[in-house]
Copies of this chain bind each other. A is one copy, B any other.
Amino acid sequence: MDTPTKRIAINFGGGYVPGLNAVITGTVLAASELGWEVVGIRDGFEGLLFPDRYPEGGLVKLTPQIVENLAAATGCILGTAAHSDPFHVRTINAENMVEEVDRSDELLGMIKKEKIDAVISVVGSRALSILWKLSRKGLKTVCVPKSVENDVAATMLSFGFNSALSFVADMLERCRQAAQSARRIGVVEVLGEHSGWLALQAGMAVCADAVLIPEIPYDLHKVAAKLREKAKAGLSFGLVVAAEGAKPLADLNVPPKTSDPKMKAALSPGATGHEGFHVMERSGQVAVEVALEIQRLTDQETYPLVLGQLARGGTATVVDRQLGLGYGAGAVRALNSNQSGVMVVFQPPDLKFVPLTEAINKFRTIPADSEFVQIARALGISLGD
């Protein structure tokens, strides 16, 4: 007799995005309808790997009562783990040196010991690979795609993207109005190292003058030409949106001519350097470089602005609340039909399941003939080419 999965876990990898509690709620309610138990693992897998850090326990029992008011609440009651990888856990060894050790077997043992039958992991592109490796080692798992950049492959919509898009578009509208009011050109950098969905869709929503995305190398002479023409018509202001991964056409084969390291360090929260900030991520550079160059080419007052990580906070939109509940329920459905090593994806109007192999080691980028690209061009928005 096939006994059903009885006790499942849920956890979150990668960065914070709005509305994670909705996925928890969807998972718990759907599992509860099937009579299953759900536990949450704190901070990715750290609740299991580092139990000492959690005086009240690294696992949290999740009941329908606990999620009663949770779906719309900000934050994430379980925490996320941006850099947690059980295959590469930083430890201090006997010689007092930092080294990375593989604790994946230990983790699988703990999951077994806790009688957890399967793990639902809400993760971005990077952490998907970790889950796939754990899956290959025997972990029963279903993944839910999560990304404010919407860059997870195989799904049309990653969890968190719509909320980030909504916030970024509202900020861009502020920037556009401020630029117009002060008769300046604003250059705003938004998240998107590998794909430009956030920049393109938000930039389109506010009818920016130009949008620079990683998929299309940019030539600022073309952007500047458009802004100069606009200025001639009396409209000496503008808004340029740049994804953090946007790159100039000219520099494709040459190393980036990045200025002095100190400036980079100061500007980019996380750029490297002894004197600068700790390594976090490359950020802020594009806004500054583009703004300086556009100012030079247009002779108009230009200023850079970096929205960056702010897009990760705040309240989830209704789209994300629905999607989170749906993804949670969908992951339970996958487990209930004995699937594993799969990711729940949204292919409107349906939820589907695809093998993790279809989603790992790649990013969902914007095709050259994408409808959004066509619309942006039709509206007269320069894409820098």
Contacts and interface: CB of A to CB of B under 8 A. Distances in A.
A71 interface: yes
- Between A180, A269, A280, A314, the greatest number of chain B beta carbons within 10 A of the residue's beta carbon is seen for A269
Interface stretch (A98-106, A202-210, A244-252): A202-210
A297 interface: no
A235 B277 CA distance: 20
Assembly stoichiometry (copies): 4
Interface string A156-177: 1000001001100111011101
A129 to B, nearest CB: 21
Interface in A132-186: 156, 162, 165-166, 169-171, 173-175, 177-178, 180-182, 184
A329 B379 contact: yes
Interface stretch (A115-123, A218-226, A305-313): A305-313
A42 interface: no
B269 A170 contact: no
Interface stretch (A2-10, A89-97, A256-264, A353-361): A256-264
Contacts of A374: 333
B206 A349 contact: no
A33 B375 CA distance: 12
A374 B349 CA distance: 12
Most buried by B among A178, A295, A301: A178
Chain A interface helix/strand/loop/mixed: helix
Interface in A45-77: 53, 64, 68-69, 71-76
A107 interface: no
A11 interface: no
Interface of A: 15-16, 25-26, 29-30, 32-33, 53, 64, 68-69, 71-76, 79-80, 82, 156, 162, 165-166, 169-171, 173-175, 177-178, 180-182, 184, 201-202, 204-207, 234-235, 259-260, 262-263, 266-267, 269-270, 276-278, 280, 288, 291-292, 295, 301-305, 309-310, 312-314, 317-319, 321-322, 325-326, 329-330, 332-333, 348-351, 370-372, 374-375, 378-380
